Amino acid sequence: MNQNETPRVIAISSGKGGVGKTFTSLHLAARAAEKGQRVLLLDADLGLANVDVMLGISPAGSIQDVVTSGKSLADILVPSGYGFDVLPGGSGFHELTSLSSDQQQVMIDEMRDLGRNYDLVLIDTAAGIGDNVLYFVSAAESSLVVLTPDPTSLTDAYALIKVLSNMRDVRRFMVMINQAEAVDAQIAFRRLLSVADRYLDVHLDYVGNLPPHPDVRRAIQAQKLLPKVGSEQLVDHLNRTMDAILSRPRDSSRSSGLQFFWEHALSEGLE
């Protein structure tokens, strides 16, 4: 199948929690939907899944119901209210380790059929360098790493990139700096780039920043995305960064699409 006929799959990850990874995933999904793309957001933060919490929605099921109760993936999709769909993951991914080959094929077929309905699939991974994070990012076509200028965030982001490049052969990363003004974000990126260029064989692509703003905390507390009225300047800034991510060309060196994603992840054995 031609790459352009398959949905693009982008994994959004971070070296540490609390840097705005899920916030970024949600707004990237909403921006892509606003631009006319059919978007699916997969919540793959196992055990601490919070996409539904940040949207104020209540999923009727999760991947676990597909594995154990015979539901289809379409049965558990949840409309976000912002033009994209959410596929709740929860702890259900742990069940994938015990699937028979026939059950694995059913899951792959389900994902292939579901993928025909979307142009873009976003994978909101857990924070850190756990096995599940490595599986999801290495199975995706593109990787976006979110961090802040905080030294611990920089250190953990570098560790994530190092492990993915050395253990999973992921060589290209988009990088977004959150909670930072433009100058501070550029400085943080240069620090990360300097160390990566010295010790790793990777390509880091700076896609932009989001400045700190009280409206971000208000939106999270209200379980909504940033309002277009009242936060125009911040939303415009965020949209420019989201547009930069969406405008990056697809990576022809990597396979893509949901069928590949699940074939790869299942063959690795999610833990």
- The confidence score (pLDDT) of residue 98 equals 55
Angstrom distances, CA of residue 165 to CA of 36, 147, 149, 251, 253: 33, 18, 22, 16, 15
Q: 5 pLDDT band (50/70/90 cuts)?
A: low
Smallest Cα–Cα separation from 85: which of 65, 67, 66, 59?
A: 59
Residue spans per domain, the chain: 3-268
DSSP label of 230? T
Q: 120 pLDDT band (50/70/90 cuts)?
A: very high
Helices (H) and strands (E) in the chain, counts: 11, 8
pTM assigned to the model: 0.89
Please write the tens of the pLDDT for every residue from 151-198: 999 999 999 999 999 998 999 999 999 999 999 999 999 999 999 999
Distance from C-alpha of 33 to C-alpha of 40, rounded to nearest angstrom? 9
Smallest Cα–Cα separation from 171: which of 198, 141, 192?
A: 141
- pLDDT above 80 (res 266): no
Distance from C-alpha of 216 to C-alpha of 225, rounded to nearest angstrom? 8
Distance from C-alpha of 156 to C-alpha of 177, rounded to nearest angstrom? 13
Distance from C-alpha of 180 to C-alpha of 20, rounded to nearest angstrom? 12
DSSP lists the bridge partners of residue 122 as 10, 41
- pLDDT above 80 (res 108): no
Average pLDDT over residues 208-215: 96
DSSP lists the bridge partners of residue 177 as 147, 209
Distance from C-alpha of 271 to C-alpha of 227, rounded to nearest angstrom? 38
Smallest Cα–Cα separation from 244: which of 150, 167, 144, 96?
A: 144
CATH code of domain 3-268: 3.40.50.300
Please write the tens of the pLDDT for every residue from 26-56: 999 999 999 999 999 988 775 566 788 889 8
Q: 271 pLDDT band (50/70/90 cuts)?
A: very low
DSSP label of 99? -
Average pLDDT over residues 105-110: 69
**Do 33 and 173 contact (CB within 8 A), yes or no?**
no
DSSP lists the bridge partners of residue 209 as 177
- The confidence score (pLDDT) of residue 204 equals 98
**Do 202 and 172 contact (CB within 8 A), yes or no?**
yes
Distance from C-alpha of 215 to C-alpha of 225, rounded to nearest angstrom? 10
Q: 205 pLDDT band (50/70/90 cuts)?
A: very high
Find the helix or strand (DSSP H, E) in which 85 lies: strand 85-87
Residue at 68: amino acid letter: T
- The confidence score (pLDDT) of residue 260 equals 60
Q: Could you give the angle at which helices 258-268 and 131-139 cross, rounded to 10 degrees?
A: 150
- The confidence score (pLDDT) of residue 155 equals 97
- The confidence score (pLDDT) of residue 1 equals 40
Please write the tens of the pLDDT for every residue from 57-98: 888 777 767 767 778 888 889 999 999 999 887 655 555 555
